[in-house]
């Protein structure tokens, strides 16, 4: 476990300073000549990199925890329906012309999703609680997806429409330290909760009955998971829109380098998620497109999908 962690920290230590060079304006690191070079670095690129690290770490860690909790390699932090509900809150604020309240609306949406989960499946105990939660989450995701589409189709004017659709693709463009402040505390809190759930997740790999006999309280575990992922995903959506892929892919990429226990995967996945999002954001900053910056969801798939496919190919040959 220590090897991937130290390697990832080393990679981050290299990537973060380099990422400050990525942007629309070339800043010579040895003799910056552009006007306002310091402002560009300190107010544009640094908060952006910090936000990529925060959100990436949150999504990576939450993904690892979710896959451990549901014991399903397809699980990702979006499964509880928190992200689409948070996005619905944000879209609503955009459609009503209250763009300034967007982070608040997104967090309110995330809280609403968690409250709805509590109402629907809060009392569930026993073997099917996780399934019940996942299904409730899927339904929440479906409902808020439909509501988001409804708001889009009711958009008051084409400008609001365009803004909503662009926002939904997720981006770290023009973020400031303020956004970092919005996302960092609740991401940290969420990761903390997930880390506290880690020992129980390890026990869960032996099966639910065994875990229970080992002293795992399934209800407490469930709530740690819901609160942890809710905080992480809500903060991410509030600051950058919907960013998929990280939570699903990063744990898979890193699992072979760990001892396969969920608890030993959370930290590497958090670091890996931070690295992946940072690299993807650098790609966004460097690729000027006619319609504006490359969207981070697209960049993530461009970077992550080939890795993932290669991983699958190797798995196939191992299985054969």
Partner 1 sequence: MLRRPTPDPSRLREGGNKRDLALSRLREGSNKRLLLPSRKREGLGVGRATALLLAIAITACTQQPKREMSRTLPTIVSLNPCADAILAEVTQPGQLLALSHYSADPRAASIDPAKARLYPTTRGTLEEVLALHPDIVIDGIFVAPATAAAYQRLGLRLETLGIAGTVEESRAQIRALAALAGNPAKGEALIARIEAALAAAAPTDGAAIPALVWEPGGIVPGDKTLIAELLRRTGFTNFAAARGLGQADQLPLERVLADPPRVILAAGSDRALSHPALSHLTGTTRAPLDPRLLYCAGPTIIPAAQRLAEVRRMLGPTPNPSRLREGSTVALSSPLPLAARARLSSPLPLAARVPLSTPLPLAARVPLSTPLPLAGGAGGGQAAKHPPQ
Q: Is residue 287 a contact point for partner 1 (CB under 8 A)?
A: no
Structure tokens at 5: 């962690």
Least CB distance to partner 1 at residue 91 (A): 11
- Are the beta carbons of 236 and 183 closer than 8 angstroms? yes
Least CB distance to partner 1 at residue 175 (A): 7
Q: Is residue 177 a contact point for partner 1 (CB under 8 A)?
A: yes
Which residue number, 140 or 168, has a Cβ lying nearer to partner 1? 168
Which residue number, 177 or 307, has a Cβ lying nearer to partner 1? 177
Which residue number, 13 or 35, has a Cβ lying nearer to partner 1? 35
Residue from 29, 156, 207, 306 that binds partner 1 (CB under 8 A)? Answer: 156
Quick one: how far is CA 13 from the chain centroid?
21
Tell me the backbone φ, ψ of residue 294, rounded to 5 degrees. Answer: -60, 140
Which residue number, 4 or 109, has a Cβ lying nearer to partner 1? 109
Q: Is residue 181 a contact point for partner 1 (CB under 8 A)?
A: no
Q: Is residue 115 a contact point for partner 1 (CB under 8 A)?
A: no
Q: Is residue 95 a contact point for partner 1 (CB under 8 A)?
A: yes
Which residue number, 158 or 215, has a Cβ lying nearer to partner 1? 158
Q: Is residue 157 a contact point for partner 1 (CB under 8 A)?
A: yes
User: Residues 87-92: contacts with CB within 8 Å, 24+ apart?
Assistant: 87/144, 87/148, 87/168, 87/237, 87/241, 87/242, 88/144, 88/145, 88/147, 88/148, 88/151, 90/167, 90/237, 90/238, 90/241, 91/148, 91/151, 91/152, 91/164, 91/167, 91/168, 92/151
Which residue number, 159 or 312, has a Cβ lying nearer to partner 1? 159
Least CB distance to partner 1 at residue 223 (A): 34
Residue from 6, 28, 36, 128 that binds partner 1 (CB under 8 A)? Answer: 36
What is the full DSSP assignment across 153-169?
A: HT-SSHHHHHHHHHHHT
Residue 199 CA to residue 124 CA, distance in Å, equals 22
Q: Is residue 161 a contact point for partner 1 (CB under 8 A)?
A: yes
Q: Is residue 99 a contact point for partner 1 (CB under 8 A)?
A: yes
CA distance from start to end of the chain: 28
Least CB distance to partner 1 at residue 312 (A): 36
Residue from 21, 147, 166, 169 that binds partner 1 (CB under 8 A)? Answer: 166
Task: List helix spans (H) across 214-295.
Answer: 218-240, 246-254, 262-286
Q: Is residue 31 a contact point for partner 1 (CB under 8 A)?
A: no
Cα angle value 302/306/311 (rounded, 5°): 145
Least CB distance to partner 1 at residue 18 (A): 17
* R_g (Cα) of the chain, nearest Å: 20
Residues in region 43-82 near partner 1 by CB under 8 A: 43-44
Burial of 11 (0-12, 13-18, 19+ CB in 10 A): middle
Alpha-carbon distance values, 172 to 2, 177, 249, 282, 294 (Å):
31, 12, 20, 10, 10
- Applying CB under 8 A, the span of 13-21, 38-46, 68-76, 248-256 interacting with partner 1 comes to 38-46
Q: Is residue 37 a contact point for partner 1 (CB under 8 A)?
A: yes
Q: Is residue 116 a contact point for partner 1 (CB under 8 A)?
A: no
* Torsion on CA atoms 284, 288, 291, 293, rounded to nearest 10: 20
Residue from 23, 104, 205, 307 that binds partner 1 (CB under 8 A)? Answer: 23
Residue 141 CA to residue 117 CA, distance in Å, equals 11
**Interface residues with partner 1 (CB under 8 A)?**
23-25, 34-37, 39-40, 43-44, 94-100, 156-163, 166, 173-178, 291-293
């Amino acid at each position: 476990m220590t090897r991937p962690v130290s390697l990832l920290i080393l990679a981050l230590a290299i990537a973060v300073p380099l990422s400050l060079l990525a942007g629309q304006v070339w800043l010579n690191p040895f003799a910056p000549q552009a006007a306002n070079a310091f402002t560009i670095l300190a107010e544009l690129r640094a908060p952006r990199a910090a936000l990529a690290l925060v959100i990436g770490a949150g999504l990576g860690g939450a993904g690892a925890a979710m896959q451990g909790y549901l014991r399903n390699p397809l699980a990702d932090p979006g499964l509880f329906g928190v992200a689409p509900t948070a996005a619905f809150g944000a879209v609503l604020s955009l459609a009503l012309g209250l763009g300034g309240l967007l982070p608040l609306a997104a967090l309110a949406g995330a809280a609403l999703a968690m409250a709805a989960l509590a109402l629907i499946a809060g009392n569930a105990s026993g073997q099917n609680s996780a399934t019940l939660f996942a299904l409730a989450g899927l339904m929440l995701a479906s409902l808020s997806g439909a509501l988001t589409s409804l708001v889009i189709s009711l958009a008051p004017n084409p400008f609001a429409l365009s803004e909503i659709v662009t926002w939904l693709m997720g981006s770290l463009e023009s973020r400031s330290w303020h956004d970092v402040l919005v996302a960092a505390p609740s991401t940290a809190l969420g990761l903390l909760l997930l880390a506290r759930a880690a020992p129980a997740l390890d026990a869960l790999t032996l099966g639910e009955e065994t875990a229970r006999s080992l002293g795992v309280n399934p209800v407490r575990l469930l709530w740690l998971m819901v609160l942890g992922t809710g905080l992480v995903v809500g903060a991410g959506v509030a600051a950058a829109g919907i960013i998929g892929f990280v939570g699903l892919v990063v744990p898979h990429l890193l699992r072979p380098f760990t001892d396969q226990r969920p608890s030993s995967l959370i930290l590497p996945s958090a670091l890996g998620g931070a690295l992946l999002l940072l690299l993807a954001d650098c790609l966004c900053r460097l690729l000027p497109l006619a319609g504006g910056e490359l969207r981070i969801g697209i960049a993530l798939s461009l970077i992550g999908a080939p890795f993932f496919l290669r991983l699958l190919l190797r798995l196939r040959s191992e299985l054969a």
